[in-house]
Amino acid sequence: MRHAIAHLQGSKIREVANAGLGRPDVLAFWFGESDEVTPAAIRQEAKTSLGRGETFYSHNLGIAELRQALADYTSSLHRPVAMDRIVVTSSGVSGLMLAAQLLLDPGDEVVAVTPVWPNLTAQPQILGAQVVRLPLSAREGVWSLDLDLLRQKVTSATKVLLVNAPNNPTGWTLSTSQQRAMLDHCRQTGTWIVADEVYERLYFGEGVAAPSFLDVADPADRVIVIHSFSKSFLMTGWRLGWMVVPEDVVDPLGKLTEFNTSCAPVFVQRAGVLAVQQSSVTVPPLREHMRACADRLVRGLKSLPGVEVAQPMGGMYAFLRVPGRDDSLAFAKHLVTAHGLGLAPGAAFGPEGEGWLRWCFASKDLARLDLGVQRLAAALK
């Protein structure tokens, strides 16, 4: 077995979840998904496709109808994007792995803005790349990026800069001016930017979407943006995503897709077409509900003595800290076993997250969030 694989860490979130298995009383807020099912019309579209017998292989890059729909959708939010720059993937995480396989050789340097979803930093390590962590700083629960530190870390030796914003787990979000500064610097160093923007529509600032590198980058820039149907379209289990890339890497990505997944299932892609076409109706209410969930949870957490938490600007998570509870994995396990409250340990997102807990607030029932706060209050007593 390769050294990089043998030393992969298991999921600390899963470790906490396993401690609560078989307990119906546990309030589970540990995984990053809503408890709402995919809208009925999208599910029906997949059934209709299956009824037509669309169960065969399709184009590596995705069916033309979905690629065009995604180009139109992306162009409605950002600068115009041609269909020829769209690559359909079997999930957002698959898109991230394809980007890593496309760009990285063993020994290459990758700079990752952290804390971050652990898959994002594990993928380069699996391929033998060296990951340099660029930590966000936290003050009273508010996370921010030091651009001067980024300029020091990202040099001509840096092959890829990994950025996830809106961020999982902190809710931190980039501004357009910050993205422009990062892009200008990476143009000078020759560094690729791989931007995980899967939470862009679950954004609580002004505008219909969070600021994107697609707003500032030219089509030929070394920028790859990753998206997923999982979050904004309530399609986590469907495993469907897409990439927006420079045209000159589309064909290589098609080859890599062949050797990874071959293609996304046609019936899943048909459902994706409808999801995108209906997004102007379905996504805004979901965003407002997520905003209400965030407001409700953060207000409850701030009422607890000593709890440090900030209003997230995007995503579906509150990142909180309780003074004196520095071992986040042990504390998360205690909350499950003693109080029936399932949260993700901050250590799952890297050393920068140690001492913190991630709470996924994507709940259909706001009262469920209130009950969770009550259980945390009981634990703190």
**Residue where one domain finishes, among candidates 246, 263, 280:** 280
Half-sphere exposure of 9 (CA within 13 A, CB side): 14
Strand ranges across the sheet with 86-89 = 86-89, 241-244, 223-228, 192-196, 158-164, 109-114, 130-135
**Residue where one domain finishes, among candidates 219, 251, 280:** 280
Is the same domain home to 316 and 227? Answer: no
In which band, very low, low, confident or very high, does the pLDDT at 23 lie, cut at 50, 70 and 90?
A: confident
DSSP secondary structure letter of residue 314? B
Please state, for a pLDDT cut of 70, what percent of the chain lies above it. 100
Residue ranges making up the domain that contains 346:
3-38+281-380
In which band, very low, low, confident or very high, does the pLDDT at 13 lie, cut at 50, 70 and 90?
A: very high
Is the same domain home to 105 and 83? Answer: yes
Is the same domain home to 300 and 253? Answer: no
* CATH number of the structural domain spanning residue 11: 3.90.1150.10
67: enclosing H helix or E strand = helix 64-77
**Residue where one domain finishes, among candidates 280, 315, 348:** 280
In which band, very low, low, confident or very high, does the pLDDT at 246 lie, cut at 50, 70 and 90?
A: very high
Task: Calculate the alpha carbon distances from 129 to 123, 222, 310 in Å.
Answer: 9, 19, 34
| pLDDT tens per residue, range 132-155 | 999 999 987 889 999 999 999 999
Mean pLDDT of 269-294: 97
Centroid of chain to Cα 359: 15
Is the same domain home to 139 and 151? Answer: yes
Q: What is the distance between the alpha carbons of residues 150 and 143, in angstroms, rounded to a whole number? A: 15
Task: Calculate the alpha carbon distances from 317 to 40, 142, 205, 341 in Å.
Answer: 26, 13, 15, 15
* CATH number of the structural domain spanning residue 166: 3.40.640.10
Closest CA to 159 of 114, 216, 94, 224: 224
Tell me the sheet residues that pair with 345.
357
Q: What is the distance between the alpha carbons of residues 70 and 39, in angstroms, rounded to a whole number? A: 19
In which band, very low, low, confident or very high, does the pLDDT at 262 lie, cut at 50, 70 and 90?
A: very high
Mean pLDDT of 246-274: 98
Q: What is the mean pLDDT of the chain?
A: 96
Please state, for a pLDDT cut of 90, what percent of the chain lies above it. 94
Produce one character per residue of 41-80: b if its CB has 16 or more CB atoms within 10 Å, e if not.
ebeebbeebeeeebeeebbbbbbeebbbbbbebbeebbee
Is the same domain home to 34 and 69? Answer: no
The pTM of the full predicted model, rounded to 2 decimals, is 0.96
Q: What is the distance between the alpha carbons of residues 31 and 358, in angstroms, rounded to a whole number? A: 9
pLDDT above 90 for 8: no
pLDDT above 90 for 160: yes
Please give the pLDDT value at position 265.
Answer: 98
Please give the pLDDT value at position 5.
Answer: 86
Please give the pLDDT value at position 358.
Answer: 98
DSSP secondary structure letter of residue 298? H
Closest CA to 264 of 93, 89, 97, 94: 89
Closest CA to 162 of 132, 188, 193, 186: 193
231: tokens are 């979050």
